[in-house]
A = this chain, B = another copy of it.
Amino acid sequence: MTELRMPELKLDADGLVAAVIQDDATGDVLMVGYMDAEALRRTASEGRVTFWSRSRQEYWRKGDTSGNIQVPRSIALDCDGDALLIRVDQTGPACHTGARSCFFTPVDMVDAGEP
Contact = CB atoms under 8 A, between A and B. Distances in A.
A81 to B, nearest CB: 8
Count class of interface residues, chain A: 35 or more
Contacts of A14: 12-13
Contact of A85 (B79, B83, B95, B103): B103
| Copies per complex of this chain | 2
A11 interface: no
15 contacts: A2-B111, A5-B108, A6-B108, A18-B18, A20-B29, A27-B28, A31-B83, A45-B109, A46-B110, A75-B106, A76-B104, A76-B105, A76-B106, A78-B102, A79-B99
Interface of A: 2, 4-7, 12-14, 18, 20, 22, 27-29, 31-32, 40, 44-47, 71-72, 74-80, 82-85, 95-97, 99, 102-112
